[in-house]
C-alpha cells in the first residue's frame, strides 16, 4: 500500500467522523426544546465536526502532493471564536430570561476572595 492510498483511507475516515458529528448536531438542534440545551449541539459540530472535515482536507492536500496550510488558519479561527460566540448566545438567553437563571453564588465575604473565616484560620493554625 502506498502513502497515497493510506492517506485516502484516513481522509475517508475523517470525512465520515466529521459528517457523523454534523448529523448528530443537526438532530440535536432540531430535537432540543430549550435554547440553552439547543446551544450545546451546534457548538460540538463547530469544533469537532468541522475540525475533522478540515483535517481530512489537510491530509488530502498532502497526499496529492500539494500541501496547504489554509485549513490550519481556519481551524485556529474556528476554535477561538466558537466558544466565545456560544458564551454570548448563552448570556443573551439568560438576560432575556428565555431560560432558567443559574443559581446565585453564596452570600458571604469569603467566596472568591482572600478573606478566611475564623474556623478556617483555626484549622490552618493547628497544622
DSSP states of 17-34 as a string? Answer: HHHHHHHHHHHHHHH--S
Alpha carbons within 13 A on the beta-carbon side of 112: 3
Residue 23: left if φ>0, alpha if ψ -120 to 50, beta else—which one? alpha
pTM given for the model: 0.67
Domain boundaries, the chain: 3-103
Q: How far apart are CA 10 and CA 14, in angstroms?
A: 6
Q: Give the mean pLDDT of the chain.
A: 82
Tell me: the pLDDT tens digits for 11-20?
Answer: 999 999 999 9
Give the largest CA-CA distance in the chain.
Answer: 71
pLDDT in tens, 77-93: 988 888 888 888 888 88
Amino acid at each position: 500500500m502506498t502513502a497515497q492510498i493510506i492517506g485516502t483511507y484516513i481522509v475517508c475516515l475523517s470525512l465520515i467522523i466529521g459528517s457523523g458529528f454534523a448529523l448528530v448536531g443537526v438532530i440535536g438542534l432540531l430535537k432540543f426544546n430549550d435554547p440553552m440545551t439547543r446551544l450545546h449541539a451546534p457548538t460540538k459540530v463547530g469544533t469537532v465536526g468541522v475540525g475533522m472535515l478540515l483535517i481530512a482536507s489537510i491530509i488530502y492536500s498532502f497526499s496529492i502532493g500539494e500541501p496547504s496550510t489554509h485549513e490550519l488558519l481556519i481551524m485556529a479561527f474556528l476554535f477561538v471564536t466558537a466558544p466565545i460566540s456560544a458564551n454570548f448566545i448563552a448570556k443573551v438567553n439568560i438576560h432575556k430570561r428565555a431560560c432558567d437563571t443559574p443559581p446565585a453564588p453564596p452570600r458571604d465575604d469569603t467566596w472568591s476572595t482572600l478573606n478566611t473565616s475564623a474556623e478556617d484560620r483555626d484549622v490552618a493554625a493547628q497544622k
